[in-house]
Amino acid sequence: MRRWTEMLCRGATRLLAGGAAALIVGGIAHAQLAPPPGPTAEAIKKRGMLNCGIDTGVPGFAAQDASGKWKGIDIDYCRALAAAVLGDPEKIKYVPTTAAARFTVLQSGEIDVLIRDSTLTFTRSTVLGLDQVAVNFYAGQGFLVKKSLGVSKAADLQGATICTVTGATLELNIADFARSTGAKIDTLLFDKAEEAIAAMEAGRCDGYTDDSGSLAGMRSTLKVPGDWMVLPDLISKEPLGIHIRSGDARWNKIVFWLDTALKSAEEFGVTQANADQLKTTSKDPFVLRLLGVEGDFGKALGLDNDWALKAIKVSGNYGEMYDRYFGPKALDLPRGLNNLYNKGGMHYTLPLR
């Protein structure tokens, strides 16, 4: 009798363990072999709602204002996309994602697109099976240092102690940079940016390092911002942009050309305010194609021909978005690489023809 129960017990345990293993293996296999979900744009139209993955909070990219409304350049992109596809910028479900979960949430189909200040990298493209559609913000790791230190570029930071937050990349970049320039740079690590900044103000280190997008915001929170400066050079490349699931070429094209349309609009001087007017007055064929007056550009994407016009009318062209959140009246970050190619920046758009 005793032996029977024991055997039963052991059998049950084995069965359970086997079942769990099968579940895990099956789950992982499923994750890799799952056929791509049906055309994303169709699903969005059927749902009447764009599921947009965003950050849980980064100044300038995505943050809630006092009434709880999401604001930021990534949010403006979501809104423009919803306007282009659904014709209504309000038909969005924002899904705030943490750094750990963002790509899983995208892979599982919970969101249609991830616009979350995420760096486009080789591994994310290949190993994670994601499509990296466009860069909407060129960032890089920069330094915020005391002016009294008397340095003008990152390479001069010999023997300095830099405060930063834990997380392999920031530290790793400093180590790589120090090794390549032969400089000796110490780091002091903190869990939260606020702590690191407080330590820096208390004199425990000479500067702070983070993505250039965050640095400007951080500088504005200091007690005497004038005592500190952001060094002009960046020690890493962080092209932040838009991710989608691999396997839906049509959705990829929609998102890609939306990004292009927003940047082209700035290039051709089409703004939120004058878009409707230019539709009738403009003679520029590129503008006419962009605004859907000539050609069937929207139809080719499976959208209405005035798709770009709708998007631009929501929150303006790329330059207007940038100014709203990073311009002199906001976080005051010089456009630098984020300018158009003909103004010394990196945003070079493919022609609309």
Residues at the interface with another protein (CB under 8 A):
5-6, 8-9, 12-13, 23, 26-28, 30-31, 34-35, 37, 56-60, 63-68, 71, 93-98, 100-101, 104-105, 107-110, 192, 194, 197-198, 217-218, 220-222, 325, 330-331
Q: Estimate to the nearest angstrom the gap between the alpha carbon of 342 and the chain centroid.
A: 23
Nearer to another protein, 255 or 331 (CB): 331
- Residue 144: phi and psi, rounded to 5, are -115, 115
**For tokens 């924002």, what's the residue?**
94
Compute the distance between CA of residue 13 and CA of residue 56 in angstroms, rounded to an integer.
41
The token pair at 27 is 């789950």
Nearer to another protein, 55 or 266 (CB): 55
Nearer to another protein, 31 or 346 (CB): 31
Q: Which conformational region is residue 332 in: left (phi greater than 0), alpha (psi within -120 to 50 degrees), or beta?
A: left
Compute the distance between CA of residue 106 and CA of residue 91 in angstroms, rounded to an integer.
19
Compute the distance between CA of residue 119 and CA of residue 135 in angstroms, rounded to an integer.
9
CB of 65 to another protein, least distance (A): 6
The token pair at 299 is 């139809």
Compute the distance between CA of residue 240 and CA of residue 139 in angstroms, rounded to an integer.
7
- Residue 118: phi and psi, rounded to 5, are -105, 135
CB of 350 to another protein, least distance (A): 32
Nearer to another protein, 210 or 267 (CB): 210
CB of 206 to another protein, least distance (A): 19
Compute the distance between CA of residue 208 and CA of residue 229 in angstroms, rounded to an integer.
10
* Residue 72 and residue 63 in contact, taking contact as beta carbons nearer than 8 Å: yes
CB of 31 to another protein, least distance (A): 4
Half-sphere exposure at residue 191, Cβ-oriented, CA atoms within 13 angstroms: 0
CB of 338 to another protein, least distance (A): 17
Taking the C-alpha atoms of 124, 130, 136 and 141 in order, what is their torsion angle to the nearest 10 degrees? -10
Compute the distance between CA of residue 168 and CA of residue 136 in angstroms, rounded to an integer.
24
Nearer to another protein, 123 or 342 (CB): 123
**How many Cβ atoms are within 10 Å of 348's Cβ, its own excluded?**
11
Nearer to another protein, 218 or 261 (CB): 218
Vertex 255, ends 253 and 61: CA angle to 5°? 160
CB of 345 to another protein, least distance (A): 22
Compute the distance between CA of residue 339 and CA of residue 353 in angstroms, rounded to an integer.
23
CB of 143 to another protein, least distance (A): 18
CB of 300 to another protein, least distance (A): 27
Nearer to another protein, 118 or 349 (CB): 118
Nearer to another protein, 100 or 168 (CB): 100
Inter-CA distances, 329 with 58, 105, 323, 326, Å: 18, 34, 8, 8
CB of 48 to another protein, least distance (A): 14
**For tokens 């640095």, what's the residue?**
215
CB of 296 to another protein, least distance (A): 32
Nearer to another protein, 101 or 188 (CB): 101
Nearer to another protein, 12 or 172 (CB): 12
